[in-house]
Amino acid sequence: MGETILEMQHIAKAFSGVYALKDAQLTLQKGRVMALVGENGAGKSTLMRILTGIYDHDGGTILYKGQPVHFKNAMQARDAGIAIIHQEFNLFPNLTVAENIFLGDKSVQSHGLVDWQAMNRRAQELVDSIGGTFSVEEKVQELSVQNQQVVEIVKALAANAEVLIMDEPTSALPESEVQHLFRTIRGLKARGVAIVYVSHRLNEIFEICDDITVLRDGVTAFLSEVGATTQQEVVAQMIGKEVTVLYPKQDAEIGGVVFEARHLSDGDTVKDLSFCVHKGEILGLYGLVGSGATECPEALFGLVRGAHGTFLMDGREISLHSPAQAVANRIAYVPPDRHRQGIIRQLSIRFNLTLAVVRRLCTRSVIRRKDEQATVDDYIRKLRVKCAGDSQKVTFLSGGNQQKVVIAKWLATNPALLILNDPTRGVDVGAKAEIYSLISELACAGMAIVITSSEISEILGMSDRILVLNEGVVSREFLRGQADQKSLLSAALMRPDETQGGV
């Protein structure tokens, strides 16, 4: 252990004159997990693409097992033992696990035909060896996401990978399955595999990684053993300046009830949920996958057919059967899946930003272009959206700025209730901090806000009040400062009838 297997030194790469990497360094050792972190655009993916042979580098050297190497394509890198597992899995859902693992592998063939028995046996051995508990004769589409990830890992092992790159490996996993992945990673370490762990999630990095490399603007800005640094320091190194408060939650004046939901049910996950949100209050909803925490906002916004309940806005009863009705009742919803639900990436910032409000900017159906421009300028400035101009296509913005456009779209509708469903997913640290302070400002200005998140710390850091959901009902309520990660998680894991329950 501890033997250096790969060294990337002074790697530089430019795309049509713009540097993506200037002086990047990465050293991997057998049996150790290296975290690779950096803001979006820092050069992480470019560096990984160079390592896996997809891009050619312009400068610097790569030493692999002591020899200088220069991979010309992805095939060469893979044959040399460097494998990558992408966020989106690269599996054939309608083939079996074993078929996926040995696809195109000549070693399981005899006389040009596949030796099914040998293939299944070897596949099962590999799956068992890293603690998989499923049969390799199952079709991949029948496996859970976490087991599909195991298949990806086994695929890499079958190809004798000695360096394994995992790109945001937990982003697709429910929180409860993260530990399962970590066990697998520890197993890989014991085999001497060197792992690159690319992630935004610092908590996980501090739990599973041995070393950390921070990339900033194409340069390796910071190198350390994980045990010798802190999350604060890593964040500071990522954005290049010291951040004192990651969650800049200010105390807002909390007023009367703005919105109330009684007996909300979506006919599936959400069973019987009653709660209210006050003026100026940030209400956090927390729960594990399947608890209803992420489903509840969908139902409130009229997205779930068959959802029912009684809803009051400013004391007046309203119905919420469609997003259009929700918007008409001054409810705004920032959805979790930005690309499918939040933005239209092929269209301009202006188009996206005014989509929900454009009808109100019309006289006799004709858009008042001056008013539209004023709205767009206003929100680009207020939210500090970094862009080349409002006609720039949203696809060219960073994740954080795309998310700002989505939030701006909703603020333009002047909502009374803002629902944020995992608002910082896939957003880099710098933009995260900006989004948090924006949310806090909005609450101070009297908006009622509901927030859900896949990160416990976000809920803890931002909420005035937290409702913990379990099996579709509220299992516990915490006020700000009453809860910590442990109490929140244990409340989320406990069955509702074991706690005092209720609102």
Partner 1 sequence: MVQQSSSHAKMLCVLKSRYTLLIGIIALEFLLFGFLAPYFLTLGNILNILRQISEIGMISIPLTFLLLSGHMDLSVGSIVGVCGITCGMLLRAGQPVVLAILAGIAAGAVVGFINGVIVGKLKIQAVVVTIGTQVMFRGLCYIMTSGRAVSGYPLSFYVLGGGDILGLPISVLVLGLCYVGAWFVLERTYFGRYILAIGNNQNTTRYSGIRVDRVKILLFTFCGIMTAVASIFLISRLSSAEATLGSGYELDIITAALIGGIDINGGSGKLQGTFLGILIIGILRNGLNLMGLSVIYQSIILGVLLLVAVAKRKG
Using DSSP, state whether 377 is helix, strand or coil.
helix
> Which residue among 359, 382, 386, 495 contacts partner 1 (CB under 8 A)?
359
Kindly state whether residue 425 participates in binding partner 1, applying the rule CB under 8 A.
no
Paired tokens of 446: 């009297």
Kindly state whether residue 424 participates in binding partner 1, applying the rule CB under 8 A.
no
Cα(346)–Cα(344) distance, rounded to whole angstroms? 6
Closest CA to 177 of 271, 288, 66, 281: 288
> Which residue among 16, 117, 250, 365 contacts partner 1 (CB under 8 A)?
365
By C-beta, is 311 or 478 nearer to partner 1? 311
Kindly state whether residue 500 participates in binding partner 1, applying the rule CB under 8 A.
no
8 Å CB contact between 480 and 281: no
Provide DSSP, 68-124.
E----SHHHHHHHTEEEE-SS----TTSBHHHHHTTT-GGGEETTEE-HHHHHHHHH
Interhelix angle 178-190/145-158, rounded to 10 degrees, is 10
By C-beta, is 92 or 396 nearer to partner 1? 396
Kindly state whether residue 398 participates in binding partner 1, applying the rule CB under 8 A.
no
Kindly state whether residue 358 participates in binding partner 1, applying the rule CB under 8 A.
yes
> Which residue among 245, 344, 374, 479 contacts partner 1 (CB under 8 A)?
344
**Residue position matching structure tokens 């921070």:** 214
Paired tokens of 298: 């969908």
Residue 252 DSSP one-character state: P
**Residue position matching structure tokens 């610097």:** 60
> What is the CA 20 to chain-centroid distance, rounded?
23
Where in 311-340 is the site for partner 1 (CB under 8 A)?
322-324, 326-328, 333, 335, 340
Of the listed pieces 16-24, 111-119, 227-235, 347-355, which binds partner 1 according to CB under 8 A? 347-355
Of the listed pieces 76-84, 137-145, 348-356, 453-461, which binds partner 1 according to CB under 8 A? 348-356
Cα(174)–Cα(148) distance, rounded to whole angstroms? 13
By C-beta, is 362 or 445 nearer to partner 1? 362
Kindly state whether residue 415 participates in binding partner 1, applying the rule CB under 8 A.
no
By C-beta, is 343 or 385 nearer to partner 1? 343
Q: How many residues does the chain have?
A: 503
Where in 291-310 is the site for partner 1 (CB under 8 A)?
301, 303
8 Å CB contact between 175 and 135: no
Closest distance of CB 59 from partner 1, Å: 30
Residues in touch with partner 1 (CB under 8 A): 301, 303, 322-324, 326-328, 333, 335, 340-348, 350-351, 354-356, 358-359, 361-362, 365-367, 369, 388-393, 409, 413
